[in-house]
Structure 1
Amino acid sequence: MQVKEQLARAVSDFIWNIVEVHSQLEEIHKTWAQLLGITEPQWLILMAVDELDEGRGVSGIAVANKLRIHPAFVTNQTKKLEAMEFLSRVTSPDDARYLRISLTQKALAEIRKLSIKRQSLNATMLEGLDEESLHYVNKRLILIAKNSRLASQKLSIGIL
C-alpha cells in the first residue's frame, strides 16, 4: 500500500508543480503583452504565428490548434492585431477561402526589442538545466501531454 501512496503523492506533486509553472508563465505572458500594449491572448497569437510561419504565412486554424483555442477567437483577435499593425492577413494563393497570417515588420521589431529580456528570462527559468536535461524533460512532457489528451477524452466519454 505504501508504494501506491508514494505514487499518488508523486502524481499530486507533479500536478501542482505544473499548475505553478502554468501560473508563472501566464504572468510572464501578461507582462510581455503589456509591454506591447496588447492582451495576453493576443501575445500568445503573435508567438504562435512567429513559431509556425515558415515564410508563407500561417492559417488561423493552425494558430488555433497550436494554442488549443477556438478558430473564431483567433479570427477575431487577428483582425484586432491587424488593425494595430502587428499582423498582416493575406488571401492564400493556394485557396482563396483562407487567409495566411504573418507578423508585420512592426511586430518583428517589437519582438526583437524584447529578445534580450526574453533570453535573460529563459536563462533564469531554466537555470540548472543543460540542453540534454531540457531535451529529456521536453520528451517526457510531450508524452504526458499526449497521454493527458487521451485521459481527458476517455473521461469526457465516460470510459474512466
Structure 2
Amino acid sequence: MGENDQLDRAVKDFIWNIVEIHSQLEEINKGWAGMMGITEPQWLILMAIDELDQGRGVPGIAVANKLRIHPAFVTNQTKKLEEAGFLSRMTSPDDARFLQISLTQKALSEITNLSKMREALNSTMFTGLDETSLDYLNKRLAAIAKNSQLASQKLSIGVL
C-alpha cells in the first residue's frame, strides 16, 4: 500500500469515526433532552446558552451561529422554552431590536440535577485521555473544523 493509499485510508477512517461519534452524541443529547421533557434541538439550545452566557444573556444570533442553525428556528424554539419556564428573553440594553436570552433558575436546577450523570458519561466517553491529550485533540479538531469549512466553501463555489 502506497503512502497516498495509507493517507486516503486514514482520512476515510477519520471521517467514519466522526460520523459514529456524531451519531452517538445525538443519542446522548436525545437522552438528556428526554429527561428534561424537551426535544434534542431545545436541549442543544439550552447548552449553547449555558456555554455562551457570561451573565448578561445571549443574543439569539449567537446561539444560531454556535449551533449552525437558522436564527428563525432559534427564535421559535426559545419562545417554546420560555413558555416551559427554561428561558427568559429580555430586550437588549444595547439595542432594543434584539433579545438577550438567559437560562432560568428552573433550567439551571435541571441541568445541575443531571451534572453527576453527565460527569459519569464524560468519564466513560473519554476513558484513557487525560487533560493534555484532550487539549491536543481539541486543537487538532479545531484546525480540521476550520479547514473543512474552507473546503466546503471551495466546493460550493466550484474551485476544487
TM-score in same-fold range (> 0.5)? yes
Q: Structure 2: how far apart are the matches of 1:92 and 1:4?
A: 53
Alignment of 1:18-97 (within 5 A): 18-97=18-97
| 1:28-84 residue CA offsets vs partner (Å, 9 max, x unmatched) | 000000000000000000000000000000000000000000000000000000000
Alignment of 1:62-141 (within 5 A): 62-141=62-141
Q: Structure 2: how far apart are the matches of 1:129 and 1:157?
A: 39
Give percent identity, aligned residues only. 76
| 1:59-112 residue CA offsets vs partner (Å, 9 max, x unmatched) | 000000000000000000000000000000000011100000000000000000
Shift of 1:126: 0.3
Q: TM-score, normalised by structure 2?
A: 0.99
RMSD of the alignment, in Å? 0.6
Match of residue 155 from structure 2:
155
Q: Structure 2: how far apart are the matches of 1:105 and 1:130?
A: 33
Match of residue 12 from structure 1:
12
Shift of 1:116: 0.2
Opposite residue 36 of structure 2, the aligned amino acid is L
How many residue pairs align between the two structures? Answer: 160
Q: Structure 1: how far apart are the matches of 2:59 and 2:126?
A: 31
Q: Structure 2: how far apart are the matches of 1:133 and 1:29?
A: 24
Runs of 4+ that moved beyond 3 A: none
Q: Which stretches in structure 2 are left out of the alignment for 5+ residues? A: none
Q: Structure 2: how far apart are the matches of 1:136 and 1:95?
A: 39
